[in-house]
């Protein structure tokens, strides 16, 4: 092979390798530093997030991490009250949870029959009977408009008066935060397993970019096009 042909062959391979690796690097960089998609698997955040909501999580809003670790490279902002966040479940860090932050380090948090009490003051909530998602749910749940920090959102609680064992009172330790689901009585959250360390925080939920009532039977991770919830597309999460 002549020297000219050898150089041409090397150039072709270099271009081919770049063409293959560049998109992968862009995808990795996007998911590592900017946004990452997740799918909601449970109803613990109803009525804010539904099962099969596809969300984009803003990962740079709090800082940047060392790839594939829980260590921060830069942590330029702390989470705020009311943020809906994705984090690694403290009991199994291979599992990801999505909940709402209702108390930060140093705060005293109480939950009494679904009512949040922050630093001794009940979080104001207004009844929202018109918010019921269906006639069946209207008979089972009470809906409330709540305000935490800059976030205004709707939560719901079961009308049943039986003791659900969901009451809680504690002071949040340094470097941690406390989370609950907006579906107050049907959420596995900090009331059951404790506080979330800051190093397990992934990011803040930004938008719902896709949503459907059910997925394809042959591919459970793909939305059925006939079941798209059009009203939820590109919806900002409060």
pLDDT greater than 60 at residue 181: yes
Average pLDDT score, the chain: 86
Which of 59, 99, 190, 211 does the annotation list as catalytic? 99
Q: What is the DSSP string of 152-198?
A: EEEEEEE---S--S--EEEEPPTTEEEEE-SBGGG--SHHHH--EEG
Q: Of the ranges 23-32, 89-98, 172-181, 196-205, which one carries the lowest mean pLDDT score?
A: 23-32
3-236, what's its fold? Umud Fragment, subunit A (2.10.109)
Q: Of the ranges 12-21, 126-135, 150-159, which one carries the lowest mean pLDDT score?
A: 12-21
Number of CB atoms found within 10 A of residue 9's CB: 11
State the average pLDDT over residues 83-93. Answer: 97
State the average pLDDT over residues 35-46. Answer: 94
State the average pLDDT over residues 36-42. Answer: 94
171 is catalytic: no
Half-sphere exposure of 106 (CA within 13 A, CB side): 1
Which of 2, 42, 44, 235 does the annotation list as catalytic? 44
44 is catalytic: yes
Q: What is the tens place of the pLDDT at every residue in 93-114?
A: 999 999 999 999 999 999 888 8
C-alpha–C-alpha distance, residues 149 and 236, integer Å: 17
């Amino acid at each position: 092979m002549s020297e000219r042909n050898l150089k041409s062959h090397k150039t072709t391979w270099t271009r081919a390798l770049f063409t293959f690796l560049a998109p992968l690097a862009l995808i990795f960089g996007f998911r590592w530093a900017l946004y990452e998609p997740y799918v909601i698997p449970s109803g613990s955040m109803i009525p804010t997030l539904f099962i099969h909501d596809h969300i984009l999580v803003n990962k740079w809003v709090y800082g940047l991490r060392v790839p594939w670790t829980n260590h921060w490279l830069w942590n330029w902002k702390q989470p705020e009250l009311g943020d809906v966040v994705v984090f690694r479940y403290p009991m199994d860090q291979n599992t990801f949870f999505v909940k709402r932050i209702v108390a930060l380090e140093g705060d005293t948090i109480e939950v009494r029959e679904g009512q949040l009490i922050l630093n001794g003051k009940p979080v104001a909530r207004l009844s929202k009977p018109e918010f019921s998602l269906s006639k069946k749910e209207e008979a089972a749940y009470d809906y409330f408009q709540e305000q935490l920090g800059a976030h205004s959102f709707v939560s719901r609680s079961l009308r049943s008066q039986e003791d659900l064992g969901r009451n809680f009172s504690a002071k949040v330790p340094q470097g941690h935060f406390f989370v609950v689901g907006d579906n107050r009585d049907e959420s596995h959250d900090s009331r059951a397993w404790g506080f979330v360390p800051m190093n397990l925080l992934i990011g803040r939920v930004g938008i719902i970019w896709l949503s459907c009532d059910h997925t394809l039977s042959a591919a459970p991770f793909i939305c059925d096009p006939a079941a798209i919830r059009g009203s939820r597309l590109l919806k900002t999460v409060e």
